[in-house]
Structure 1
Amino acid sequence: MSLRAMHFVMPGGVDDPRTPSGGNTYDARVCLDLPAFGWQVHKHAIDGSWPRPGAAARAELARTLGEMADGSRVLLDGLVACAAPEIIAAETERLRLVVLVHLPLGDETGLDPGLAAELDARERRTLRSVPAIVATSEWAARRLVAHHGLAPDRVHVAAPGADIAPLAAGTDGVSRLLCVASVTPRKAQHRLVEALATLTDLNWSCVCVGGLGQDPGYVAELRELIDHHGLGDRLQLVGPQAGAELDASYASADLMVLTSYAETYGMAVTEALARGIPVLATDVGGLPEAVGRAPDGGMPGILVPPDNSVALAAELRGWFLDADVRRRLRAAARGRRAALDGWAATARSLAGVLGRLGRDERKGAA
């Protein structure tokens, strides 16, 4: 099978194990899987403080696009594309552009309101100028259409896949909690700390896996909160993990907990479910899609309101004390595990978007 060429423009550091993120994992995996669906991927990693790049990064983006042949198909990570709408708009007539949105820029928690509005406006200009957008969940697609006034037929969904892994043995079936998320205000680990501080009468331990460098101020405040509640010997911030180290953390987990304020999907949720680990997560964005249901309709997790440590604590206490709850959730998690789509499904969806761009243009030319 001869492969058709496409270009993938992404932020620098996607393959850096020191800065793991759902977006980085997504970008790296689809580069590996797209060739199976007929596409040869030419990667262009552009270093910069995306989505707030300096002049050098913007110049590199303009140069990279400018050197591509007319009619080239180009997939752009939204962090890069939506930061520079004037550069993208200048190439929309010449190149076949698709923007992949991992998280709407204005949805990041903790931004100055003026900056959030500026990023939101840049994103709107970019997405309105390109022929196709890819979102990573049905929820995100609906939000982009409604928020930015986009035509629904231009917004497509390619949800993240999950690699089925061996069933997690857990620790004792009850007490080991795992949170996999960058330690940032949007992931709201402070709400987890507040909830666990009310459960010190119970036997539990918690490991928080995730990058510590994105918001050092928040990390410092979180460590102070942990110390304030005397949880230092029970709740650990272990930093980023990958490979066998991350697999070991999942293998010892009894319950996955994610307390985010905003998520377009929640890949850590499906990574846990791929190991049969039940999930306790906030009811925001695409997280309900990621949690999903087992084929028999069973719910493999519990959803709680965001920013509500009391509700979180109540559900955790129920998990710790009610064996029937644990059995039901574990059975549903194993059912959901068997029904998860792999990364090939993600690549197939993206390949379909890229292919339709070409067919649409040939029809127009005819």
Structure 2
Amino acid sequence: MAEFILAAPGDLETPTGGYLYDARILRELSARGRPVRALALPDGFPTPSAGAIQRSLELLAAVPRDATLVVDGLAFGTLPADKLRVLRRSLAALVHHPLALESGLSREDVERLEISERQALREASAIIVTSSATRRTLIERYRAAPERVHVAEPGVDPAPRAIGNADGPAVILSVGALVPRKNHENLARALALLGDLDWRWRIVGSDDRDPACARRLAGIVRELGLVERVSFLGAVPPGELEDAYADADLFALPSRHEGYGMAYAEALARGLPVIAGDGGAAPELVGPEAGALVEPDDVPGIASALRRLIEDPSARKVASDVAWTLGQGLPRWAHAADVFERLMTATSGENRAA
């Protein structure tokens, strides 16, 4: 049986949604008896050095031709299209969200990344995305052929309903790396408008992806006088993350863009009301009745959504019930693994034909 190989920069143990997805797909396929392995590409993507690009291409070229080779979009989108073509093999791209839609980029970087990713994706025999919204983006903006773009939404595992903090201040949970796209800064500014309410904000997420962003957020929290109400928990192990969800009263993360929004899904699966940014895949995943969809730069609007759910327990209960119902209908990881298994079958056919 041919191997399934997932190539990604760095270490799949890195606590990001994309890497958690990659690692889980490998575990799901392995549990089905499929031979799988991760292929570690050099760090530095999506702004790789020339050496990182060359080494990545060498590693991809060494993969057995009968293997199903999937390359994480963090690297795929910046690999030169002409060099991918020279590999003369079937390879698939796994796009969590287009690189040019990351926040905090200069106009020149946006243009460069969009052109690079569009050209690279033309060389993919298949493209796997994590939401229908991202599929539409790749078809409409990146001109990907519709028949080559397949959706494999992340799964959620069954989880108990969150208990919350009924006898104390409302606990607001955010889960996501401290990077500009997650928009913690405007959430902090919105919370500063709610000084008359009793709340605590717990932030789970790595602070080393963008240290400047993490320092800026810490400075804003200090300047706004929120230090006593805010806890920076950093990246935490799975058990502590489960506890953080269980102890929360609502989830808030007004992201500027989400290719899917795995943290939103995890919150819904536990019945937490969710305040989400209105870009990318979030509107289809969350919906307004499960909490609120907010414009990421509308600080008063974010504050209004928070106020309604913090000060009105009945509104929070209604949103929680909707969230819980939505969460029980979310896909399981087996559904995502099915998409990759179909890709393996198709790849085997292509390799036999070749």
Which residues of 2 match residues 1-366 of structure 1 at below 5 A? 3-16=1-14, 20-37=15-32, 39-85=34-80, 86-91=82-87, 93=88, 95-172=89-166, 175-291=170-286, 299-359=289-349
Q: How far apart are residue 200 of structure 1 and its match? A: 0.4
- Cα distance, 1:138 vs. partner? 0.1
Structure 2: distance between partners of 1:345 and 1:280: 26
Q: Which moved more, 1:33-42 or 1:251-260?
A: 33-42
Would the alpha carbon gap of residues 133 and 288 (structure 1) be closer, same or farther in structure 2, given more than 3 Å must change?
A: same
Letter in 2 for 1:165: A
CA distance in 1, matches of 2:302, 2:172: 13
The whole-number CA distance in structure 2 between the counterparts of 1:165 and 1:243 is: 13
What TM-score comes out, normalization by structure 2 length? 0.94
What is the SS of the residue equivalent to 2:310?
helix
- Equivalent AA in structure 1 for residue 28 of structure 2: D
- Partners in 1 of 2:34 and 2:101 — Cα distance? 32
Partner of 1:296: none
CA contact 1:58–1:84 (8 Å) conserved in 2:
yes
How far the C-alpha of 1:70 sits from its partner, in A, is: 2.9
Distance in 2, matches of 1:154 and 1:354, equals 14
C-alpha distance 250-122 of structure 1, shift in aligned 2 (>3 A): same
Question: TM (normalized to structure 1)?
Answer: 0.91
- In structure 2, what is the Cα distance between the partners aligned to 1:67 and 1:361? 16
- How big is the shift at 1:335? 1.3
Stretches of structure 1 lacking an aligned partner (at least 5 in a row): 294-298
Aligned 8 A contact 2:10 2:41 in 1: yes
**Which residue identity is paired with 1:82?**
G
State the alpha-carbon separation in 2 of the partners of residues 189 and 360 from structure 1: 45
CA offset at residue 360 of structure 1?
5.6
Q: Displacement of 1:42 after TM fit? A: 2.4
SS state at 1:44 partner? strand
Q: Output the CA distance in 2 between the equivalents of 1:301 and 1:344.
A: 28
- Take 1:54 and 1:184, find their aligned partners in 2: how far apart are those partners? 22
C-alpha displacement of 1:258: 1.0
How many matched pairs?
352
Q: 1:357 and 1:265 mapped to 2: Cα distance?
A: 26
Give the distance between the partners of 2:211 and 2:348, measured in 1 at CA: 45
* TM-superposed deviation, 1:65: 1.8
The residue identity in structure 1 corresponding to 2:305 is: E
User: Could you tell me how far apart the structure 2 residues matched to 1:60 and 1:231 are?
Assistant: 46
Verify the 8 A CA contact 1:73 1:354 in the aligned structure 2.
yes
Cα RMSD (Å): 1.8
Secondary structure of 2:228's counterpart equals coil
How far, CA to CA, are the matches of 1:258 and 1:233 in structure 2? 20
CA distance in 1, matches of 2:156, 2:281: 15
Give the AA of the match of 1:89: R
CA distance in 1, matches of 2:287, 2:221: 32
Per the TM alignment, residue 37 of structure 1 is displaced from its structure 2 partner at its CA by 4.8
